[in-house]
Amino acid sequence: MIKINANIAALMQAHKDEFEIFCNELLEWSRIHSISAYRSKEAVLENILDSIYPLNFINDFKNALDVGSGGGFPAIALGIVKRDSSFVLTEPNAKKASFLNHIKITLNLSNIKILRDRVENIKQNSFDLITSRAFCSTERLIYLTQDLLKNNGYFLFYKGSSEAISNYTIRKDNRIYFYKQKGGKNG
């Protein structure tokens, strides 16, 4: 279980009802359509915590691109908490894209846009933040998305604990957060 600080606990409490709906919908859709492997509310809530934990250390951002959004981690959780930021979620899988659209409508997440497409086909190139979780290697993600990120923007990749450590990572329990500014500087 991810240990949380007061800031994250406050966010979880403030958005408790929305996270509850997200949990229930993800579990129901997963049971029928195999959206994710999570089978309990505890597992989904732990992934919500994992998704919003980087808000402790990342710079503020106005817009973000999430690559391979799947069941909505991290972008749906971030979109719930950061209503003043806009998010573009890319997901080529039709069932997963349908789920993302469903949860967007259900939670009235007008700050989120779902694209049923591959990241290679995205043309917008002005994102402050690019996120991804369990999509591909860090090097490949940077290669695929570097032209989509603003010059002073950041990559935030949620990697497994076995990922190689670099100067741009923060380790928390079994998670490594890769956070790097385009061009190599960190804020």
pLDDT tens digits for the chain (187 residues)? 556 789 999 999 999 999 999 999 999 999 999 899 889 999 999 999 999 999 999 999 999 999 999 999 999 999 999 999 999 999 999 999 999 999 999 999 999 999 999 999 998 779 999 999 977 888 899 999 999 999 999 999 998 766 666 778 888 877 889 999 987 555 4
Residue of 114, 83, 85, 82 whose CA lies nearest to 97: 114
Longest dimension (CA), the chain: 44
Distance separating alpha carbons of residues 21 and 125, to the nearest angstrom = 32
In the structure encoding, which two tokens stand for residue 132, read together? 């991804």
- Between CA 115 and CA 144 the distance in angstroms is 16
The torsion angles phi and psi of 30, rounded to 5 degrees, stand at -65, -35
How far the first Cα of the chain sits from its last, in Å, is 28
pTM across the whole model: 0.92
- Does the domain spanning 57-181 belong to CATH 3.40.50.150? yes
Which pLDDT does position 128 carry in this prediction? Answer: 97
Reference 110, options 123, 122, 97, 101; nearest CA is 101
According to DSSP H, which parts of the chain are helical? Answer: 6-14, 16-33, 41-52, 75-81, 94-106, 138-145
Residue 59: other Cβ atoms inside 10 A? 14
Distance CA 168, CA 44 (A): 27
Q: What is the pLDDT of residue 184?
A: 59
pLDDT in tens, 52-79: 999 999 999 999 999 999 999 999 999 9
How far is Cα 177 from Cα 169, in angstroms, rounded to an integer?
5
